[in-house]
């Protein structure tokens, strides 16, 4: 049991100073003057918020952050895969790193669209699960699967393109997910497996429908990339003769437990479909800028009633896992897309998108995402005496619009305190730093052979 005394809590039109009691894994009480003879935690000059959801990332991309060329997604992916000789140890370390950066920027849940090592798929999943359990963060491990080879993700245009078959059958891939569910899907322990075809650009209908079946059988969330780039918009027309959203609706992938990363290039009709199916958009503003994918029409989504939340995306396209940065840029970026300031996202709205919006996308709005008695205690307490949050004005405004540094004082996940005094308690972060250091070396620009092979075709098809 923990009782946080005298902590600032947002209420309608302002803040109250209250006590918050955590019993077992839940918020047991929020009120003034809770008796806390032992295990009282001083909340003075601190702000308590529900934990945010890092609703889309790829943990192992941490190994290539800072080094990826300035390319659009399709070429960037080719470079990424050319230089991704992952091993299990690296999967473990980057999952730890992703969890730590997420926690220290206000996140209590991570959705890891996990790149699998070929031939070691279940071992990869087991390793990420182990890392997240050690840190204690709530984790949706969403194995990134496909059944078409990388070159199939680029539109053919006028040319005839043939693609190598993918090295693993659709059925074998679905069996991996099924086995992963049996071995690792443990909602009570804060570990969830989600179905997560990478997207229409690299997946057959058979893979999507197989995932739907698994989702229904085992009560799993569904995740996917969706219309991140113009190339994918073009590809969907080539492949289906309709938009990717229409196609996903037709085959039944969209639902109130489906979260879709990016959603940059959608039509008005597509937006209506997302609203009707209660699907969630995961906005990854920094990745969308870095890869030149475009500005997702987030204000339109909100006006249409589509649920929107934030993700960092993998650290090779961002190149950080700082949720507060994603929330800031994901809010203010849209002010240049609509001149009427009455439509702009306020800091309070941004916070709600990042917490309750994320919970909705994971079908957990009844259990997570707000400071509500009875909900799970996934909580973050911010130190408002950090220079970056001074002078004192509106705490949430400072947190969202500033550049908060060293502000996360404490984090609870499922009622357990895993960050205290700004330090992760569950793992040794200094040791993690040393491991990340020793497993890497300074590099400069590299040449990707695959990019050299496909760049000319890409430029032609995209009119460059």
* Beta strand pairing call for 138-143 and 191-193: parallel
431 is a site residue for a second copy (CB under 8 A):
no
Among 304, 394, 416, 457, binds a second copy (CB under 8 A): 394
We find the least distance from the C-beta atom of residue 295 to a second copy, in angstroms, to be: 6
Our CB check for a second copy shows the closer of 249 and 290 to be 290
User: Residue 322 and residue 331: Cα distance in Å, rounded?
Assistant: 14
461 is a site residue for a second copy (CB under 8 A):
no
Residues 54-113 that bind a second copy (CB under 8 A): 62-68, 70-72, 75, 94, 97, 100-101
Our CB check for a second copy shows the closer of 22 and 286 to be 286
Kindly provide the residue ranges of all beta strands, DSSP E only, lying in 285-366, ordered along the sequence. Answer: 307-310
Stretch that binds a second copy, among 132-140, 182-190, 217-225, 319-327 (CB under 8 A): 319-327
Residues 145-184 that bind a second copy (CB under 8 A): none
User: Residue 338 and residue 433: Cα distance in Å, rounded?
Assistant: 42
We find the least distance from the C-beta atom of residue 42 to a second copy, in angstroms, to be: 16
Stretch that binds a second copy, among 191-199, 252-260, 365-373, 438-446 (CB under 8 A): 438-446
294 half-sphere exposure, CB direction, 13 A CA radius: 15
We find the least distance from the C-beta atom of residue 90 to a second copy, in angstroms, to be: 9
433 is a site residue for a second copy (CB under 8 A):
yes
Stretch that binds a second copy, among 158-166, 180-188, 403-411, 412-420 (CB under 8 A): 403-411
HEC per residue, 240-278: HCCCHHHHHHHHCCCCCCEEEEECCCCCHHHHHHHHHCC
The tokens for 134 are 């050690």
Stretch that binds a second copy, among 24-32, 51-59, 204-212, 293-301 (CB under 8 A): 293-301
**Angle made by CA atoms 291, 293, 296, in degrees to the nearest 5:** 130
Among 243, 288, 414, 417, binds a second copy (CB under 8 A): 288
The tokens for 158 are 């006028």
391 is a site residue for a second copy (CB under 8 A):
yes
401 is a site residue for a second copy (CB under 8 A):
yes
State whether residue 23 is helix, strand or coil: strand
Question: What separation, in Å, do the N-terminal and C-terminal C-alpha atoms of the chain show?
Answer: 61
List the one residue out of 382, 436, 432, 437 whose CA is nearest residue 410: 382
Structure letter (DSSP) for residue 356: I
Residues 217-246 that bind a second copy (CB under 8 A): 230
User: Residue 319 and residue 68: Cα distance in Å, rounded?
Assistant: 9
37 is a site residue for a second copy (CB under 8 A):
no
């Amino acid at each position: 049991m923990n009782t946080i005394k005298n902590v600032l809590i947002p209420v309608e039109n302002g803040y109250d100073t209250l006590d918050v009691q955590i019993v077992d894994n839940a918020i047991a009480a929020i009120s003034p003057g809770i008796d806390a003879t032992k295990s009282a935690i001083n909340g003075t000059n601190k702000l308590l918020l529900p934990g945010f959801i890092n609703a889309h990332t790829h943990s192992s991309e941490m190994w290539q952050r800072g080094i990826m060329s300035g390319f659009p997604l399709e070429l960037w992916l080719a470079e990424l895969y050319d230089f991704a000789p992952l091993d299990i140890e690296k999967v473990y370390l980057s999952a730890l790193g992703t969890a730590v950066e997420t926690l220290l920027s206000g996140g209590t849940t991570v959705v890891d669209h996990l790149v699998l090592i070929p031939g070691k798929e279940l071992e990869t999943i087991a390793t990420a699960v182990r890392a997240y359990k050690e840190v204690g963060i709530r984790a949706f491990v969403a194995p990134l699967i496909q059944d078409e080879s990388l070159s199939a993700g680029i539109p053919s245009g006028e040319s005839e393109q043939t693609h190598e078959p993918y090295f693993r059958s659709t059925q074998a891939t679905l069996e991996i997910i099924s086995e992963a569910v049996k071995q690792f899907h443990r909602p009570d322990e804060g570990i969830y497996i989600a179905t997560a075809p990478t997207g229409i650009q690299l997946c057959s209908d058979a893979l999507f429908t197989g995932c739907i079946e698994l989702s229904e059988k085992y009560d799993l969330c569904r995740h996917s990339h969706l219309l991140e780039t113009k190339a994918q918009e073009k590809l969907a027309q080539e492949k289906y003769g309709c938009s990717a959203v229409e196609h996903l609706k037709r085959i039944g992938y969209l639902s109130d437990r489906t979260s879709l990363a990016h959603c940059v290039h959608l039509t008005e009709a597509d937006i209506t479909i997302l609203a009707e199916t209660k699907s969630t958009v995961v906005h990854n503003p920094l990745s969308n800028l870095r890869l030149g994918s475009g500005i997702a029409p987030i204000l339109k989504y909100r006006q249409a009633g589509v649920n929107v939340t934030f993700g960092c995306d993998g650290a090779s396209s961002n190149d950080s896992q700082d949720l507060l940065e994603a929330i800031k840029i994901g809010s203010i970026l849209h002010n240049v897309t609509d001149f009427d300031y009455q439509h702009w996202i306020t800091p309070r709205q941004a916070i709600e998108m990042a917490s309750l919006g994320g919970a909705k996308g994971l079908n957990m709005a009844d259990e997570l995402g707000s400071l509500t008695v009875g909900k799970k205690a996934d909580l973050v307490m911010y130190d408002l005496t950090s220079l970056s949050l001074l002078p004192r004005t509106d705490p949430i405004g400072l947190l969202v619009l500033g550049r908060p540094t060293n502000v996360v004082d404490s984090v609870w996940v499922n009622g357990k305190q895993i960050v205290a005094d700004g330090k992760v308690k569950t793992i040794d972060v200094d040791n993690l730093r040393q491991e990340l250091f020793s497993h890497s070396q300074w590099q400069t620009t590299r040449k990707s052979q695959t990019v050299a092979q496909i760049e000319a075709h890409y430029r032609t098809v995209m009119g460059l």
